[in-house]
Structure 1
Amino acid sequence: MADNYASWRAQFTNLLFGYDLLGCLNGTTLCPPETILQSGSTTPISNPECKLWKRHNDYILHAILALVTWAVASLISSTTTSHEAWQKLEITFANQSRTKMLSLHNILMKTTKGSQSIVEYTQTIKIITDDLALMGYPLSEDEIILHVLNGLGNDFKEISAAI
């Protein structure tokens, strides 16, 4: 999961946003009180909003557990809310995702055309920049152009200078 956490996270949060359930996951929508007082009464009654929140929370928690490997599921199996599970996943995988991002940036800076054809070289750059974008770290068009030009070498110095 460390390899695709950023894209998995983006897909999952977009899905929940579409179903208006993101607040339960990110903790902005808290569980309402279990009981409420009906107007004009002193006897508490069950709060239907609490029941709905708990159902949404259980659906989301079940979806998370169903979409991760058994090793990852064991990390979050003791959680009781989707928000708590989400936070554990963030803590566990966000740093690994950042490490991968830094590694991809490093590879990108060191990538040169060398003996590759222009097509192979630009494909290599595209794969790396696409991976960064999927992880949530997109490069601007100007940054990509600079990386391409820097790795071309002396054979293309006139073209690089002109650009």
Structure 2
Amino acid sequence: MTSPTTTHSDQDNTRVIQTNQDPVSIYYIHPSDSSTNQLVSVKFNGDGFTKCKRSMMLTLFAKNKLGFVNGTICAPDVSSPDYKAWERCNDLVISWLLYNLDDNIARSVLFLKTARAIWKDLEKQFGYISMPQISSLEHKLAELNQGQQFVSDFYTKLKTIWDNLDDAYPLPTY
């Protein structure tokens, strides 16, 4: 099985490089991408999934690996020259996800085979807001007042509640 390649043309020179060595490739792994990269500032412990999800998605997008969790980068056929590169990147994304989860949560998804499967499981477990949580947010919103806070601090608290409520009632997509 040969390594997948990308052809780049620089004026009169044409060079062929392996896909996993091409910085624009989805299979490229930067030398600084270790399995213990911290994607979010605090490991996810089951609280505040929306914030954790957003932070992880931003980091994965920046690393050109978001498709491994959102389902846009699917596993190629095992006989494809891209399969080993896909498998290596999938395993790296899995290690990032596991490293950024609390130990108990990480153990619950440890044996899932793809980053996509882990992501879907986390969304299923933590990606919803219950009616008591919504009620609590609405109560906090009703009780919130500026008091002696700076306007910026008050607005940040207000916006955080609004964002959490927006997450609970996402706009429908068609």
TM over 0.5: yes
Aligned equivalent of 2:71: 27
Instruction: Please report the TM-score for the alignment, with normalisation by the length of structure 2.
Output: 0.59
Unaligned 5+ segments in structure 2 are 1-44, 168-174
Instruction: Please report the TM-score for the alignment, with normalisation by the length of structure 1.
Output: 0.63
> Identity rate of aligned residues, in percent?
21
Q: How many residues align?
A: 123
The structure 1 residue matched to 2:166, chosen from 89, 114, 137, is 137
8 Å CA contact retained: 1:5, 1:97? no
Q: Higher helix fraction: Structure 1 or Structure 2?
A: 1
Matched position secondary structure for 1:120: coil
1:34-45 equivalent positions in 2, closer than 5 A: 34-35=78-79
The structure 2 residue matched to 1:60, chosen from 93, 102, 115, is 93
Amino acid at match of 1:74: R
The structure 1 residue matched to 2:53, chosen from 9, 12, 22, is 9
Measure the CA separation in 2 of the matches of 1:12 and 1:136: 20
Which stretch shifts more, 6-15 or 98-107?
98-107
For residues 64 and 52 of structure 1, do their structure 2 counterparts lie closer, same or farther at Cα, with a shift above 3 Å needed?
same
Unaligned 5+ segments in structure 1 are 36-46, 139-163
Aligned equivalent of 2:155: 126
State which structure, 1 or 2, has the greater radius of gyration over its C-alpha atoms: 1
Measure the CA separation in 2 of the matches of 1:75 and 1:100: 23
Amino acid at match of 1:52: A
Q: Structure 1 residue 25: deviation in Å?
A: 0.9
Q: Structure 1 residue 132: deviation in Å?
A: 3.3
- Of the two structures, which has the highest relative contact order with CA contacts closer than 8 Å and spacing of 6 or more? 1
Matched position secondary structure for 1:33: coil
Say whether residues 1:87 and 2:157 are aligned partners.
Answer: no
8 Å CA contact retained: 2:46, 2:105? no
| RMSD, aligned α-carbons | 2.9
